[in-house]
Amino acid sequence: MSRSVAVGIIGVGGMGARHAVNLHEHVGGAHVAAVYDLDVERVQQAAIHCGSPAVLDDPLALIHDPRVDAVLIASPDATHAAYVQECLRARKPVLCEKPLATSKADARQVVEAEAALDRQLVSVGLMRRFDPQHVAVRDAVATGRLGRPILFKGVHRNAAIPYDARGEVILTNSAGHDVDAVRWLLNQEVEEVFVRGVRSHRAFSDNTTDLLLLQLTLSGDCLATIEVYAAAEYGYEVSAEIVCERGTAITGQPSPAIVRSAGARSTAVSMDWLARFQVAYVAELTQWTRSVQTGEPFAGASAWDGYRALQITDACVRSLKSGRPVPVDVDEPAL
C-alpha cells in the first residue's frame, strides 16, 4: 500500500478550511500535515478540525518543510502564482485553487517554469470537472448521439460574493470556472469574447458591475452564452446546457427533498458553492492524492488550463471595458 501523502495547506479561510476537513475526513491516502494562515485564530481552529497538524507561521517554510510532500494553496488570489512558483522550486506537487494567477503573464510564467522542469507538478482547482452533473453532460455529448454541439448556455449565480464586485474581479475570480467548463465540456477553444455588464442593485456603488453576460465564439462552429451574476440573493446556482443538432444535455441540480407546505411545493437551493460542489471537491482531492501517489497525471485542470482560463477572462475584461468583441489568442500547449 502507498504511503499517505502529507499535505501542507496554505490558507484556511472558507475554501481552505473545507479542503482541510475533506482531506481529513473523506480522502483516503492523504492527511493534513501542516497548515498556515495569516489569521492565527482561524488556523488554530482549522488544525483542531483536521487532526492537529503542524501550525506554521510562514508559507514558504511550509512549502519547503520536509514533513510536507505536496501543497494545497487556498490563500487570496493575488498570492497564488508566487506560492506555486515556490512549490516548483521545491519540486513538490501543488493543487492551487483557481485562479492560477491574477494576470495571464504570471500564469504563463508558471506554465513555463513547470515546462522547464519537464514534470507535471501543477494542478488547478477547477472543480466542475469532477461534478457528477457536469461529467454526465460531457459524457452525453461525447457519445455523438445528440449530434454536433451548436450552443453552450451557462448560468453562474452567487447569492453574494465575499469580495469586490467590480466586473474585472468577477471575471477573473468567478467566470474562470465557466470558460473552463466550456473548453472542457466541448473540447473546443474560445476564439472571441464579447462581454456586457450591469449593476444589479441600485444600492450598490457606481463602479459595481455584478451581472455579466458573456458571448463566446468557439473553435468548432459553436457559440456560448454565460450569465455570471454575483448578487442573486436567493441562493447559489450553476448550470450548463449544451444544445446540439438533435437534442440537448443540461446539468440537473443536486436534489434535496421536495417539501409541501402552506400551499407551496419547494426544494431548497444551496446558499454557497461549498455545499453545491461538495461531492466534486472530494472527488478532486481524491484524484489529486492518487496522482501524487502514483505519479500519473492529474485528471483535472493543469497549469495550461489555468493559464487558458486567464487568457480568456483577460480578453473578457478588455471587452467589458471597450464595449467591443475581443479575439483570444490560441497558442500551443507548452507541455
> How far, in Å, CA of 62 to CA of 81, rounded?
16
Q: State the cell numbers at 92.
A: 513538490
Q: Contact, 99 vs 309, CB < 8 A?
A: yes
Rounded least distance, CB 75 to ligand ISE, Å = 12
Rounded least distance, CB 84 to ligand ISE, Å = 17
Complex with ligand ISE: residue 172 or 293, whichever CB lies closer:
172
Complex with ligand ISE: residue 177 or 183, whichever CB lies closer:
177
Of 192, 182, 176, whose CA–CA distance to 152 is shortest? 182
Give residues in contact with ligand ISE (CB under 6 A): 158, 161, 173-174, 177, 273
Complex with ligand ISE: residue 273 or 307, whichever CB lies closer:
273
Rounded least distance, CB 162 to ligand ISE, Å = 7
Q: Quick one: three-class SS letters along 50-83?
A: CCCCEECCCHHHHHHCCCCCEEEECCCHHHHHHH
Rounded least distance, CB 255 to ligand ISE, Å = 20
Rounded least distance, CB 284 to ligand ISE, Å = 12
Measured from each CB, the residue nearest to ligand ISE is 174
Complex with ligand ISE: residue 166 or 177, whichever CB lies closer:
177
Rounded least distance, CB 173 to ligand ISE, Å = 5
What is the bridge-based pairing of β-strands 122-125 and 94-97?
Answer: parallel
The CA-atom distances, in angstroms, between 17 and each of 31, 248, 324 are 14, 37, 40
Complex with ligand ISE: residue 55 or 161, whichever CB lies closer:
161
Q: Contact, 193 vs 326, CB < 8 A?
A: yes
Q: Contact, 149 vs 220, CB < 8 A?
A: yes
